[in-house]
Every structure is written in C-alpha cells, then in structure tokens.
Copies of this chain bind each other. A is one copy, B any other.
Amino acid sequence: MDTPAPRRRTRIQQEKRDVILEAALEVFSANGFRGATIDQIAEAAGMSKPNLLYYFRRKEDIHETLMQRLLDTWLAPLRALDDVGEPLTELKRYIRRKLEMARDFPRESRLFANEILQGAPRIMPLLEGELKGLVDDKAAVIKGWMQAGKIIRTDPYHLIFSIWATTQHYADFDVQVRAVLGPGRSDESRFEDAARFLEGLFLEGLKPKG
C-alpha cells in the first residue's frame, strides 16, 4: 500500500528505466502510441513483459515519462534564443540548431509529431502552460528586434511556427524527402542543402536583389 510504484532508488531501477525509455522511444516513434505494443518495447529493451511492467505499471506511464523528458531537450534551442547577440545571427543559429536536432533526434521529433497529430491528448496542459509561456517570452524578444529595426516587422509567432515546421519536416517527413530527392544524395549533403536553403529563405526570401 505504501509503495504503489517502485521508487527510483536503486541503481538497477534507474538503469532499467533508462533502457526501457530508450526502447520505448524507438517503438513509439515508429508506430505511434496505439500502434506500439508492450511486448515490442519489452523485446527491444531485452526483458520480459512482466519485468517491464514492474518498472512501469502501465503503457501510458512510459509514454508520459518519455514526453516529459522529451519536451525539455526539445525546447532547449528555443530557450537558448537570446537577446544578447545580433538578431539575424541569433535566428540563424536557432534555425541551424533546430535542423541539427531534426537530424540527430528524429525519433524524438516523430514521437512529438505523433502526439500532436492525435490532438495532444496526453500533453495538452504542457502545451498551454510551459510551451505557450516560453513562446510568449521569445515572441516578445523577437518583437523587440522588430521595433529596433533589426529585422523586418512581421508576426513573431508565425515566424517561430515556420521555423519549427521547416526544420522538423526533415525528421517527420523523412521518408517523403528521401523518396522525392531520390537515392543519389547522402544524408549529410541533404542536411547541408537544407541548412543552406533555409538560411537563405529566412534571411533573404526569394525576391532577387535590385
């Protein structure tokens, strides 16, 4: 009655929970919450299903823990967007960092996309609370830059959305990007091209000079 779930005390618990979360990230991101089975996760984690359920009592608990951890790393680049540097440089760096995250953590991106696509049933409070708060802050910073004439006047919220959309596209829609570009290009050159393109798009737009 006193220990409804085993507390994270022992070293083993901490390690096993990490193994499970890593396995769950793989399985959830590839199949969605509903599409993933506990058996799959258990196998990927190298343990039996009852053993896994000893560390996480319900499938949803795994998912919830995963989403909480995810959001922190996921929003780190936006948190780092700061008032100190030159605005255009700051934005450029933000775009590059987001694109690197799409390249290096595509599973996290897809897990998140899956959750949002289904209507965010499990993380809606986080979106309306933590996420909205952060975006409001950063939108204010960007607005300051606009008022100082450092960047063109436009909607800072939609600017953030467009950076999210374009960068995460390379993780979430990876198979489509690959299919369209064909087998010729390497992963690296694909991301280099994307980085170069996005930098040009956000800084210069499409209109030719003069």
Distance, CA A99 to CA B91, complexed state (A):
24
Say whether A158 faces chain B, with CB atoms less than 8 Å apart. Answer: yes
Of all chain B residues, the one with the shortest Cβ separation from A157 is B181
Say whether A5 faces chain B, with CB atoms less than 8 Å apart. Answer: no
Contact partner of A206 (CB less than 8 A), chosen from B124, B154, B170, B194, is B154
- With A154-B206, A203-B206, A207-B203 already in contact, the answer to whether A118 and B166 are too (CB < 8 A) is no
Say whether A173 faces chain B, with CB atoms less than 8 Å apart. Answer: yes
**Apart from the given pairs A31-B118, A131-B179, A201-B205, 17 other A-B contacts in the complex at a CB distance below 8 Å:** A32-B32, A34-B34, A34-B35, A35-B118, A110-B117, A127-B180, A151-B207, A151-B208, A152-B200, A154-B201, A155-B193, A155-B197, A158-B198, A161-B194, A162-B201, A165-B173, A201-B201
Copies of this chain, count: 2
Distance, CA A88 to CA B206, complexed state (A):
8
* Total count of chain A residues near the partner, CB < 8 A: 63
Do residues B175 and A119 form an inter-chain contact, with CB atoms below 8 A?
Answer: yes
Do residues B207 and A152 form an inter-chain contact, with CB atoms below 8 A?
Answer: yes
Distance, CA A170 to CA B176, complexed state (A):
19
**A interface residue numbers (CB < 8 A to B):** 30-35, 88, 91, 110, 113-114, 116-120, 124, 127-128, 131-132, 135, 149-152, 154-155, 157-159, 161-162, 164-166, 168-170, 172-173, 175-177, 179-182, 193-194, 196-198, 200-209
- With A116-B175, A180-B132, A207-B88 already in contact, the answer to whether A162 and B31 are too (CB < 8 A) is no
Do residues B127 and A172 form an inter-chain contact, with CB atoms below 8 A?
Answer: no
Residues in B with CB closer than 8 Å to A32 are 32, 34-35, 114, 117-118
Residues in B with CB closer than 8 Å to A159 are 197, 201, 206
Do residues B30 and A135 form an inter-chain contact, with CB atoms below 8 A?
Answer: no
Distance, CA A170 to CA B114, complexed state (A):
15
Do residues A180 and B157 form an inter-chain contact, with CB atoms below 8 A?
Answer: yes
Of all chain B residues, the one with the shortest Cβ separation from A148 is B208
Of all chain B residues, the one with the shortest Cβ separation from A190 is B158
